[in-house]
A and B are shown apart, each in its own frame.
Chain A
């Protein structure tokens, strides 16, 4: 299993190259065009990161995380979610860039191969910015009443956090 996850990038890239060759797609221009779009994405999220990183660092330095972890500890322990990820869990449904900044801070602080670092990565990779997505779709559709969409989405997010913590504990704990 491990060699698949190590080789996933090269495998996908070469499979796509073969597929592109068979269809006469210009691989070079696709890769450079994509990289250009990637730079635009980076440029677009940079201001958000500049607003959020200082806030997250301030939060981390203020001693508030220990307080928050202490308050949430009984609930998080019951759900099996590591206390260090409490800010990530709270921000994940609200804002993509805030939760990216929170996850990056956890991963840098605890190390990417630590249990907490892996749990934070799996939580971010397996969930979405639910409240933002719901707001986007309902406003695009011109409806104000979102009915049961948000409770259902939040249930799924909670399940995702619990499942991520559990699977990381089983695989790497």
Chain B
């Protein structure tokens, strides 16, 4: 996939630069971009590491465990077949709670465990639902993009949070709605 993306970006941009007579800027842009990648990584590095430390603290304090207990009940409604197996349910609620808290390196392994268990039981619609839940970002604190805003000199990097929550909720609602509709159309 990345091969196509990069190939498209490089080749079409190069052709366009010739057509639009932007050859001087295009030649410079490559070098500038490489330089910008390094300074960008450094400029967001501090905030990424700080936030990663806070995430680690969250995990060790058991915030994820508390949240996953709270999520059991609503998740049982969304995943009736999987709720029969306690292990699948544990992996599932661990995955969703880690996603909400932004603990990326805890979310994926738990999600994959849940996905494998669902595939084994043959509950393919629930596996689709798990994927849809994971593609609708439900992160409470958008820390990476806040670090990017901070590095670019934002007044208050986190002031986008209410807007992010609103968009996340809209996309989650549409995800669940589309899942319910498409599930019926598919079978």
Interface set of A (CB-CB < 8 Å, partner B): 1-2, 5-6, 8-9, 12-13, 16-17, 19-20, 23, 25, 27, 30-35, 37-39, 41-42, 45-46, 49-64, 67, 91, 94-95, 98, 100-101, 103-105, 107-108, 111-113, 117-118, 121-138, 140-143, 145-149, 151-153, 155-160, 163-164, 167-168, 171
Please, which residues of chain A bring their CB within 8 A of the CB of B128? 146-149, 152
Please, which residues of chain A bring their CB within 8 A of the CB of B137? 125-128, 160
A100 and B144 CA atoms in complex are apart in Å by 9
Among residues 111 to 157 in chain B, which have CB atoms less than 8 Å away from a CB atom of chain A?
Answer: 111-112, 115-116, 118-119, 124-125, 127-128, 130-132, 134-137, 139, 141-142, 144-146, 148-150, 152-157
Q: Which of A6, A143, A145, A147 contacts B159 (CB 8 A)?
A: A6
Cβ of B24 to closest chain A Cβ, rounded Å: 9
Asked whether B85 is an interface residue with its Cβ less than 8 Å from the other chain, the reply is no
| Most chain B CB inside 10 Å of its own CB: which residue of A23, A50, A57, A131 | A57
A121 and B37 CA atoms in complex are apart in Å by 18
10 A-B residue pairings within 8 Å (CB atoms): A37-B105, A46-B41, A111-B153, A121-B149, A140-B115, A143-B127, A148-B128, A155-B175, A160-B170, A160-B174
Please, which residues of chain A bring their CB within 8 A of the CB of B19? 63
Q: Is the CB of B45 within 8 A of A42?
A: yes
* Pair count A-B, CB < 8 A: 334
Cβ of A128 to closest chain B Cβ, rounded Å: 4
For chain B, what secondary structure do more than half of its interface residues adopt (helix, strand, loop), or is it mixed?
helix
**Chain B interface size range:** 35 or more
Please, which residues of chain A bring their CB within 8 A of the CB of B81? none
A10 and B128 CA atoms in complex are apart in Å by 38
A36 and B43 CA atoms in complex are apart in Å by 17
Q: Which of A46, A64, A156, A159 contacts B13 (CB 8 A)?
A: A64
Please, which residues of chain B bring their CB within 8 A of the CB of A45? 41
| Most chain B CB inside 10 Å of its own CB: which residue of A51, A107, A121, A140 | A121
Please, which residues of chain B bring their CB within 8 A of the CB of A153? 131-132, 135-136, 175
**Given A31-B57, A152-B178, 18 extra CB contacts under 8 A:** A16-B61, A38-B48, A52-B37, A53-B34, A54-B33, A57-B36, A62-B12, A104-B148, A107-B148, A112-B154, A117-B149, A138-B115, A148-B128, A151-B182, A153-B136, A156-B132, A156-B172, A167-B166
Q: Is the CB of B135 within 8 A of A30?
A: no
For chain A, what secondary structure do more than half of its interface residues adopt (helix, strand, loop), or is it mixed?
helix
Q: Is the CB of B158 within 8 A of A160?
A: no
A95 and B144 CA atoms in complex are apart in Å by 15
Q: Is the CB of A20 within 8 A of B171?
A: no
A153 and B172 CA atoms in complex are apart in Å by 9
Q: Is the CB of A103 within 8 A of B34?
A: no
A56 and B34 CA atoms in complex are apart in Å by 10
